[in-house]
Chain A
């Protein structure tokens, strides 16, 4: 249940005549002096500027495997696929988080493997988590060819992250603005006074950018008139 989606299309945030901002949800309305909208760019556009053209969102897939014993690589290091990923070899990068911190396992004998698959390969396995898992398992078997038992590694989950990151290049409002854009504007259109926007799409397509824009909006919101 997403409160923001309840507001979209039919009930945008609006500035009332008396200077109070009315926020409507599916179950009613409330009024505030300040509103910080901290959602992705698409949801933000639906709320504040339905006509806006928004950037593409980058997506990614992650698979997690657990297994008994020592991992094939015992150093806490990132492992990259130096060959272009394909449907039969879909992994872009992987790591063993239990080599970075034992906090990723409840049991000292269990190890964790985190696998990252990029969009093209995720799309090739649309609605086919089992097929993706099998392909990743085969690929792991090639990368760690001396390791037996990869077929016994337990797949803990396949995660498809659709709105992982905003587009960062080649568009008017790409997420590549160091320091963040003015949080009182959305797509260069001034918002009603007291409405502020935050999100990585307002700064850079990084966690750093998300915090940076959140700070900008927070500071603007607590600045009394």
Chain B
């Protein structure tokens, strides 16, 4: 399993070049502990992941967040995550995440509101009724099998920087002549007659990367 920031992993994706693996190594990812602390009624309580930290089993059972039944249902959801592929998750019937949590997984309203709402809201930046059940099950699988991480330095922006650097190295291996323009408009990109064809990537923001292949 490879780790990308905040549990964005590539379970089914194999890139043909060394860009990705080199990039991930350079990120030197640091890992968050599994589980989270929930602020409710003036105190912080821990939601544990005893699968990855078996020593937390007792804490998980004793946590005031979620009823015993909710905890059993989390176990059922974890089992689903470990036995269902990403492709199978995206083949499932789609509902809103709120509907899936209520009707399919049958979590209590209290647990949905105090755990899933802030957890998934912080990832997908919207109400549970505006989120896809497939995306919920996908991210739950990522968190169950991977870890939330941060690059050792530079924050999430470092991901783009490192992958860009890796990509430039790849280009340098395969092409003698390429040009990268930053903070400028795409202008006067000359294509050598020797090249059979050229390609340009228009990247949002200020980066434009013309390159021959």
A positions within 8 Å CB-CB of B = 1-4, 6-7, 23, 25-28, 30-40, 43, 47, 58-60, 73, 75-84, 92-93, 95, 97, 100-101, 103-104, 116, 118-119, 142-143, 145, 164-165, 167-170, 174, 176-179, 204-208, 211-212, 215, 219, 221-222, 224
Main SS class of interface, A: mixed
B139 near A38 with CB under 8 A, answer no
Contact present for A82 and B124 (CB under 8 Å):
no
Across the interface, do B122 and A82 meet the contact criterion of CB distance under 8 Å?
no
- Residue contact A77 to B8, C-beta cutoff 8 Å: no
> What residues of chain B lie closer than 8 Å to A104, measured between beta carbons?
150, 153, 155
Q: Which residue of B lies closest to A198 (CB)?
A: B201
CB distance from A41 to the nearest CB of B (A): 11
Q: A25-B185, A36-B200, A176-B94 are in contact. Are A145 and B42 (CB under 8 A)?
A: yes
Q: Decide: B122 and A92 in contact? CB cutoff 8 A.
A: yes
**Whole-angstrom distance between the alpha carbons of A36 and B213 in the complex?**
13
Q: How far is the CB of B213 from chain A (nearest CB, A)?
A: 5
| B contacts with A: majority SS | mixed
Give the size of the chain B interface in residues (CB under 8 angstroms).
83
Residue of A nearest to B202 (CB): A37
B71 at the interface (CB under 8 A from A): no
The answer to whether A3 and B202 touch across the interface, beta carbons within 8 angstroms, is yes
Question: How far, in whole Å, are A66 and B168 apart by their CA atoms in the complex?
Answer: 35
The answer for the CA separation of A97 and B151 in the assembled complex, in Å, is 10
Contact of B87 among A7, A47, A178, A205 (CB under 8 A): A178
Contact between chains at A83 and B121 (CB < 8 Å) = no
A215, chain B: closest CB distance, angstroms:
6
Instruction: Using known A-B contacts A30-B189, A78-B148, A79-B37, determine if residue A204 contacts B138 with beta carbons closer than 8 Å.
Output: yes
A143 touches B152 (CB 8 A): no
User: Which residue of B is nearest A37, CB measured?
Assistant: B202
Complex-state Cα separation, A26 to B188, whole angstroms: 12
**Given the interface contacts A28-B187, A59-B125, A60-B125, does A23 sit within 8 Å of B152 by beta carbon?**
no
B38 contacts across to A, CB distance below 8 A: 79-82
* A168 adjacent to B200 (CB under 8 Å): no
Chain B residues near A39 (CB-CB < 8 A)? 202-204
A76, B152: Cα distance in complex, Å:
13
B204 CB contact (under 8 Å) in A40, A92, A168, A206: A40
A74 to B11: give the CA distance in the assembly, Å.
31
Q: Do A1 and B131 contact each other (CB < 8 Å), given the known contacts A33-B198, A80-B122, A82-B38? A: no
